[in-house]
Structure 1
Amino acid sequence: MKTARPPAVLVLAVLTLHLLLGHELQRIQDGWRDDGPPMPRRLQVEFVQEMQLQLPPPARRVATAPPVPVRVPATRSPVDDGPSQDLPPPPAPAASAPVVASAADAASAPSAPVGPVMPAAVAASGPVSDEPGPEWPLSTRLSYAMTGSFRGGPIHGQAQVEWLRQGAAYQVHLDVSAGPSFAPFFTRRISSQGQLTPDGIAPQRYDEEEKRLLLDGSRASVFFLGAEVQLAHGVRQPLARGAQDSASQFVQLTWLFLTGREALQAGRRVEFPLVLPRRQYAWQYEVVGEAVVDTPMGPLVSWHLRPTQPVVGGDLAAELWVAPALQYLPVRLLIRQSAETVIDLTLKSAPLQAAPESPNDIPRRLSP
């Protein structure tokens, strides 16, 4: 007598249930949740003008306090609760190599080294004040075309980065969607919010939110709590001074280059603590050198920055190309999660900016 076999539909339903449960358990283990505090409401900003290309004048550094060694996770590998070590102060910035807005300007570029665009108000005042001033870019929206691969398959889409500030409050939002804009099959938003300080960006909260076609959304949140940080899975760890998150780091780099706190020169390294949803890193970017990036505003000479270490456990790492002629904002981003998931973002239109909040926000050129 033959044993009755269960219907194929029942077998398929059981297998699907097991897959969904496995996915949910893995997501919870990684710190992704569907509940918890909602995403922060965006600051309301009106973008009224296209950013104009700027040729940087000779560098003048903003006077700053001597760097203080901070305790961060060891650079040899990412850590969860491992030992920390003191990092020496970064070397003093050196003069940058000549930079031009486009390849056509190369023949007429000055022979003397040139450096960051520094507003006159900043250079004249010495140390940066407690209130954010013209050394911070105006609220800016950058739109990108997206190509790459997702789990081994080709993807196309669009992305948008918004840097928003009102007084000392800031937000950074990166929105990525794959597929047609009217019906994307995958969307991801990463957001950072916090305060602008004399030492740069001080994040207070970071969120990653992901949605896929026919699946519920999920979110991971990180909270910066003074001397501690609460990671996405709820674990608290000591927080190093100057730590950035995955979104704030890009504007922090812009600020460092604009104010001359870090110089762009091939072979130099820019380092700071980096907090990702599941772990912290003692992060370093190597300045690879200059490269011309084709943009809708013409070919722009940009500086290529590349991470010096790999990430683990599905964390995201980005290479970036920053253009001095566009206030050192990224004109290209190459984001890797694994060998099979890579997103390449290239600027597809001129950046848009908000009107200055006050006369002090208007960037002014330094006289040579």
Structure 2
Amino acid sequence: MMPDSFFSPPRRRTVIFVAVIGALHYVALEWLTSHASMVPLGQDHAQVVSMALIAEPPKPVPVAPPPTLRPLPEPRLPPPPPPTELPSSESAQLTAPASDAPEGSVTPAAPAASAPAITAPAPAVAEAAAAAPAPPPPPVEQARRYKTNAPASAQFDLHVDRRDADGTKWQGVAGMAWENRGDTYQLKLEVGLSMLITRINLLVLTSEGLIGGSGIVPVTATEKRKGRAQTATHFNRDAKTITFSATTATVPWQEGAQDKATVPFQLAAIGRADVNQLAGNIDILVGEEKEATVFRFQLVGEEELDTKMGRLVTWHLRRPPKPGTYSSQLDIWLAPSMQWYPVQIRNTEANGALTTQTVTQIRVNDATGK
């Protein structure tokens, strides 16, 4: 224990002063330590701190220079052939072969062996290589033009006699309907066998079209035979062609052209207009299933027929076989007293088969009956 003289007033003041100074230093040191980042430093301190935070920049690393590239060797091509000058008159033509070249002409160098040679075809060869157009159809004989006066509408019943090439005979019936509408017409012919309760059609012909200055002008005709598909013939008057459903052939259309069903009625129209036109040859272009040919009829003479309608005076016309065109013979009998209607039709085939259709009844639809 210290003596009381140690705590005398002068000493106590000294101890207190020292303690206060120490405490102040301690507080100041603690405050500076905790707030060092907030207190601005002097110039000397700032330099020290800056040097401590900034790293020394790295020394540059030497980089190797890029390698030197050598250029690729250029391909060696054969020297181009010297240009060949052509005369001005032949500038659009190919050069003739070397053997025929005129003296002094320049011949192009031959191509390298590794490259295939390409030779331009000569004009004649190029034209031959092109697709040649289809050959035109054979010319059709020009038919004559006639004055006409088509007969009035009527319906016909006919009896059919048939004798086959082997001599077999059979009979049938036919019905024909002709409708004259003044500027248009329709025609239908059915040939078949009449059974007890039914009828079997062996052949059906139809035709429709116009009636004009040249007489009957078919537009469409069809033909249907038993066991065969129906075929059609088209008469294109505007396009001047006749076409067929059974073939791609085309035939030039002519004024006065007919189909197989209308031929007898066109002959009737010619006779009605002027009977003198039936003298000599009567040529009519007829379109059939696959072709069109000129039928040439000749006047055989005046004949009388015995029919179920009585005895009829007729004019007999015949189309004899025409070598190279048709082999059958067609005979038609017209009745002048009955508007020149066809009252009998006979077809004689090359093998001897014979078919005859003879009228049994005519029902005229025109009230005047001219």
TM-score range, shorter chain: 0.5 to 0.7
Query: How far 1:218 sits from its partner (Å)?
Result: 2.1
Distance 1:188 1:86, change over 3 A: closer
8 Å CA contact 1:269–1:286 kept in 2: the answer is yes
C-alpha separation between the residues in 2 aligned to 1:353 and 1:257? 18
In structure 1, the residue matched to 2:32 is: none
Query: How far 1:184 sits from its partner (Å)?
Result: 4.3
Query: How far 1:314 sits from its partner (Å)?
Result: 8.4
What are the superposed Cα offsets for residues 138-161 of structure 1, whole Å, 9 maximum, x if unpaired? 210111111112453312110111
Query: How far 1:166 sits from its partner (Å)?
Result: 2.3
Distance 1:330 1:85, change over 3 A: closer
8 Å CA contact 1:230–1:237 kept in 2: the answer is yes
Task: Provide the TM-score with structure 1 as the length reference.
Answer: 0.56
Query: Does the residue aligned with 2:247 lie in a helix, a strand or coil?
Result: coil
In structure 1, the residue matched to 2:267 is: 253
Query: Does the residue aligned with 2:283 lie in a helix, a strand or coil?
Result: strand
Give yes or no for the alignment of 1:191 onto 2:206. yes
Query: Does the residue aligned with 1:348 lie in a helix, a strand or coil?
Result: strand
In terms of fraction of residues, the more helix-rich structure is 2
C-alpha separation between the residues in 1 aligned to 2:301 and 2:253? 31
Give yes or no for the alignment of 1:296 onto 2:311. no
Give yes or no for the alignment of 1:221 onto 2:232. yes
Query: How far 1:296 sits from its partner (Å)?
Result: 2.4
C-alpha separation between the residues in 1 aligned to 2:228 and 2:285? 29
Q: Of the candidates 337, 360, 364, which is equivalent to residue 353 of structure 1?
A: 364
Query: Does the residue aligned with 1:263 lie in a helix, a strand or coil?
Result: helix
Distance 1:274 1:174, change over 3 A: same
In structure 2, the residue matched to 1:230 is: 243
C-alpha separation between the residues in 1 aligned to 2:235 and 2:258? 10
Query: Does the residue aligned with 1:206 lie in a helix, a strand or coil?
Result: strand
Task: Provide the TM-score with structure 2 as the length reference.
Answer: 0.56
C-alpha separation between the residues in 2 aligned to 1:220 and 1:86? 25
Distance 1:311 1:171, change over 3 A: farther
Distance 1:181 1:163, change over 3 A: farther
C-alpha separation between the residues in 2 aligned to 1:160 and 1:316? 23
In structure 1, the residue matched to 2:139 is: 83
8 Å CA contact 1:302–1:323 kept in 2: the answer is yes
Q: How many residues matched? A: 231
Distance 1:296 1:85, change over 3 A: closer
8 Å CA contact 2:154–2:179 kept in 1: the answer is yes
8 Å CA contact 1:223–1:230 kept in 2: the answer is yes
8 Å CA contact 1:333–1:346 kept in 2: the answer is yes
Give yes or no for the alignment of 1:324 onto 2:339. no
Query: How far 1:254 sits from its partner (Å)?
Result: 0.7
Distance 1:182 1:285, change over 3 A: farther
Distance 1:270 1:147, change over 3 A: same
8 Å CA contact 2:140–2:252 kept in 1: the answer is no
C-alpha separation between the residues in 2 aligned to 1:203 and 1:329? 18
Query: How far 1:262 sits from its partner (Å)?
Result: 4.6
Question: 1:176 corresponds to which letter in structure 2?
Answer: V
User: Unaligned regions of 5+ residues in structure 1, if any?
Assistant: 1-79, 93-126, 129-134, 357-361
8 Å CA contact 1:205–1:222 kept in 2: the answer is yes
Higher relative contact order (CA 8 A, sep 6+): 1
Distance 1:178 1:196, change over 3 A: same
More displaced, 320-329 or 268-277?
268-277
In structure 2, the residue matched to 1:108 is: none
C-alpha separation between the residues in 2 aligned to 1:178 and 1:238? 37
Correspondence list, 1:205-220, <5 A? 205-211=220-226, 216=227, 218-220=229-231
C-alpha separation between the residues in 2 aligned to 1:322 and 1:228? 30
Quote the sequence identity (%).
Answer: 21
8 Å CA contact 1:189–1:209 kept in 2: the answer is yes
Distance 1:210 1:181, change over 3 A: farther
